[in-house]
Structure 1
């Protein structure tokens, strides 16, 4: 029988995330009102201190609640691997893709409900050259947007800001030659305008890899193939509006360990932050993390 979620926790919030500073005090109050005993609550206003604070919290609590965007969650998750501490989240960023992959609503009340009354769930993580990530990585147009979007545009306009910036940078973008080495040694070569490395279903706040599951034991690479930026735009359009044609616009490969190269070399955004560059080895870390999940979740 699955053990219940701990009732004691430490709250760590990245106060520099989109909603971090304003959500800290309400989150602390709502968690306590929901019956979660907070051993400590820390708002981190210097991003370079986040890792140290999270590591210290893991050593002191049976559950650590990390509040921030997907980048904050992904950079924190490495420290939970191999520990008994439960990883709980407050989605306070722009896209909140990992929360959506978990099947969580992204408002504060819903997140608190999951932490107070949800269930433990053991999930996979992705790895890129040994670096763990929670949800999804990408190369192509998405990293170009992430690397150049003005901070204030992202902070104040959220997803709308991303879309506006995407239109601006799309015409500077060039396709790339993607080469994959699959588990069985098969080599695949194709032109692409975007490729997603998926442990979860969502990327950029949008459900892109519908058939992936957080406990599948596989990693998925999904590519929008070809050289046309208009084909990429059509792929995103059909996906956003759930048109039947959406599955015809991408190709997917699944495995436990996949080599990935690109020409020209491509930057890789990992859960929204530029953190790698091709060539890389992509792997799945099977069932290596316990998270606080909704009682009924789509990612079963």
Structure 2
């Protein structure tokens, strides 16, 4: 049984923006407000999900201090719980797309105010072969970058590591033909994104009518991913015009299936995943 006054902070110390002093300040402020606070630092991959899926989990509020991948791991773990806690996030990752979507605070006193206020909003998620994604699941060039980026480079350069890795791949990779089936209609492209968020890669808007707090998904289909197209799409992304760009289709959907003629990289919430995963909509 969940304990309303118990608050568990689970932090990923390898996240790009991790700051122990912020977490200690938040813990001290919450304890002063009367909460029983536990701070746990993960030490290995997958630990976030294991903590959230444990039969002994009893925190009324779960605070994830990490990036989008950490939040995804927590959501996957919480699927095992009959009763789910309130979820809060302290942004500590590289892109922090969800933090941009929800306009989450980063300063300790603002985080404490958010947590003690107790106000909540619904959080909807999609499912990719049963695995939740709160932001996006995609296949194509962006997923290949997520798979190829060295962790050491990501820690050293932050967001710039994605650019460096993308430039290296752009001239050496072999494109994969993808098909998305939605309501019996086939959409073909080189990069396909199922998005649950209006933002992508940080503060860049790709689906203005989307929101993680509302049910529904949008499919982005990019027809080409040659070097010139990638540059054009990148410029459209940073100017928040991706959804209006030639060669990009945006389709609202509830259920979609992804097909490819060969193994294709897939990423879920900025983390590398399996190959040839179908995407479909479900509430989580």
Same fold flag (TM > 0.5): yes
CA distance in 1, matches of 2:206, 2:239: 11
After TM superposition, the structure 1 stretch with the greater mean CA deviation from structure 2, 215-224 or 34-43, is 34-43
Query: Contact 1:90 / 1:108 at 8 angstroms: preserved in 2?
Result: no
Farther off after superposition, 212-221 or 128-137: 212-221
Whole-Å Cα distance in 2 between the matches of residues 86 and 245 of structure 1?
A: 33
* Structure 2 counterpart SS, 1:17: coil
Shift of 1:118: 5.8
Deviation of 1:246 after TM superposition, in Å, equals: 4.2
Larger strand proportion of the pair: 1
- Tell me what 1:238 maps to: 236
Partner Cα distance (1:24, 1:67) in 2: 10
Q: Distance in 1 between matches of 2:206 and 2:243?
A: 13
Q: Which residue of 2 aligns with 1:30?
A: 26
Higher alpha-carbon deviation: 121-130 or 26-35: 26-35
Matches within 5 A, 1:220-235: 220-226=218-224, 228-235=226-233
> Kindly tell me: are residues 242 and 133 of structure 1, through their superposed partners in 2, closer, same or farther at Cα, counting changes over 3 Å?
closer
Q: Which has the higher contact order (CA 8 A, sep 6+)?
A: 1
| Unmatched segments (≥5 aa) in structure 2 | none
In 2, the alpha carbon distance for the partners of 1:83 and 1:249 equals 44
- What does the per-residue CA deviation read over 1:185-208, in whole Å, with 9 as the maximum and x for residues that have no partner? x2314232x221111122222332
In the TM superposition, structure 1's runs of 4+ consecutive aligned residues that sit over 6 Å from their partners are none
Q: CA deviation at 1:72?
A: 1.3
In the other structure, the counterpart of 1:94 is 94
2:262 pairs with 1:264: yes
CA distance in 2, matches of 1:111, 1:276: 35
User: For the residues of structure 2 that align with 1:203 and 1:242, how far apart are their CA atoms?
Assistant: 10
Say if 2:136 is the partner of 1:156.
no
Q: What does residue 196 of structure 1 align with? A: 193
Structural mapping, 1:6-45, within 5 Å: 8-20=6-18, 23-33=19-29, 35=33, 37-45=35-43
Structure 2-normalised TM-score? 0.86
Instruction: After TM superposition, give the deviation of residue 270 of structure 1 in Å.
Output: 0.7
**Post-superposition offset of 1:63:** 0.5
Unaligned runs of 5+ residues in structure 1 are 1-5, 289-300
Q: Is the 8 A contact 2:63 2:89 kept in 1?
A: yes
C-alpha distance in 2, partners of 1:215/1:256? 15
Distance 1:145 1:233 in 2: 15
Deviation track 1:201-224 (CA, whole Å, cap 9, x = no partner) reads 222223322221124322221021
Q: Would you say the 8 A contact 2:75–2:132 is kept in 1?
A: yes
Note if 1:115 corresponds to 2:115: yes
Q: Is the 8 A contact 2:105 2:111 kept in 1?
A: yes
TM-score by length of 1: 0.82
1:85 aligned residue? 85
User: Residue 224 of structure 1 contacts residue 232 of structure 1 at CA under 8 Å; is this kept in 2?
Assistant: no
Structure 1, residues 246-280: CA drift from partner, whole Å, max 9, x if none? Answer: 443410222211111123331101111111211x3
1:80 touches 1:87 (CA, 8 Å); kept in 2?
no
- Find 2:271's aligned residue among 270, 273, 281: 273
Deviation at 1:43, TM superposition (A): 1.1
Matched, 1:285 2:282: yes
